[in-house]
Structure 1
């Protein structure tokens, strides 16, 4: 019987690959036999420190830099899979956001996702098909106070996945999004409120406090979300396209 989770001989592009969900996804694909990974992140040291057995191509770049993507378009002749993952956090009510903070989040989380997906779709079309997963967020579906630009950008990411799925079907390209709830990644560390919680309680207790209101009772790990993403990329999900897979431990119930 064919192993539908086998990625042998295939290639994948991952943004935000040096940590969190991106790094976990790279490791998951490596363990699933992927032939080549194209890894992109601003953190050059983080990329260099990754221990993978497959062929890797590392790019230190800002995903919102159109010039970088235009250059990659020229050299990327084929691609089987993409994980559009790079993102930054923003923790403030809309009324308290500065416009510069708003634009910073949008440039990475939405503009960067568009530029990544555009390049990936062009390369997959050359390859005769493929699959992509965009990392959205439950905050793009459920209104969570004080999440500001982040939630708005992730709502856009979810709908971009649906649009790309409708447009890519004729070229045998599947596109889905995943909307995690809270995940234990470094993105929390940018928030002043979380930093204060860590000072008062320690990081583990602070993370546990963030899980209040989630029926599962804890945040997801990056490895758990990577497994969800891997399934959506794989042949096991051949009939799934244009969906937003919610993986939030029941937070949105």
Structure 2
């Protein structure tokens, strides 16, 4: 188990799902946290400084106190799915890009500046998705945003290397998180199968060789690995963790 007692870590999208699981794990390992989400209530579960607002708000990041930052998890994101490109409203495209790409850029930029200011270097993990690697119908905005985030992380890794800032990405497949809850097709699956658990099993059995989705805690453990000194020679890499979905 890696000790993070000397780390100060920013986690965006920390109120639920992968972000919350990562925050819990890092806190258990001694990290001092700075948590960001627009859901202030979800952040209240943690005893840590909070940044409440829209991840794509440039002024929010200008005002954020990230002093002493050593690590960051650029995780905030929203889902979208089911509408083909020919019928996807531009407003929906912009909404997803605003959070998933603009928000990732702004928070990554702020984190890199803060880590550089310490002069000690550090580690960053960007949460992407296997949707940015494997094409599927109906996920144009989400898939494109995550493909862009993957390349953003690679560029950040090259730019950060002279300052000893490592930047890696993680590309999960299906994960049992609230991001699914507002998607119409998932609601239909829940209604058809009687529970969210059964709906996840039904989705996973369609295309995931391991026939299940990951838990947020599994992804959090992998993020912690990438942040840790154990992965000290890893930068610009993408850890695909999708149960075989992309095979």
Where 1:155 maps in the other structure, the secondary structure is helix
Quote how far apart the aligned CAs of 1:205 are.
1.4
**Does 1:107 pair with 2:104?**
no
Q: How many residues align?
A: 243
- Alignment partner, residue 163 of structure 2: 171
Q: Separation in 1 of the partners of 2:27 and 2:68?
A: 19
Q: Provide the residue aligned with 2:209 in structure 1.
A: 215
1:196 offset after TM fit, Å? 1.1
Picking from 57, 60, 85, the partner of 2:75 is 85
Tell me, yes or no, if structure 1 residue 41 matches structure 2 residue 34.
no
Counterparts of 1:248 and 1:145, CA distance in 2: 18
- After TM superposition, the structure 1 stretch with the greater mean CA deviation from structure 2, 101-110 or 85-94, is 85-94
1:146 aligns with 2:138: yes
- Kindly indicate whether residue 227 of structure 2 is the aligned counterpart of residue 236 of structure 1: no
Counterpart residue number, 2:148: 156
Shift of the alpha carbon at 1:93? 1.8
TM-score, length of structure 1 as denominator length:
0.94
Q: For structure 1, which segment, 108-117 or 142-151, has the greater mean C-alpha deviation from structure 2 after superposition? A: 142-151
State the alpha-carbon separation in 1 of the partners of residues 148 and 67 from structure 2: 28
Give the Cα–Cα distance (whole angstroms) in 2 for the partners of residues 123 and 130 of structure 1: 10
- Which of 23, 35, 42 is equivalent to 2:20? 23
Q: Please give the secondary structure, in 2, of the residue aligned with 1:190.
A: coil
For 1:125-144, list aligned pairs within 5 A: 125-128=116-119, 129-144=121-136
Runs ≥4 residues deviating over 3 A: none
SS at match of 2:138: coil
TM-score w.r.t. the length of structure 2 is 0.96
Supply the distance in 2 between the matched residues of 1:81 and 1:204 (Cα, whole angstroms): 33
Structure 2 gap segments, 5+ residues each:
none
Cα distance in structure 2, aligned partners of 1:231 and 1:49:
24
| Secondary structure in structure 2 of the residue aligned to 1:218 | coil
Measured in 1, the distance between the counterparts of 2:137 and 2:201 equals 19
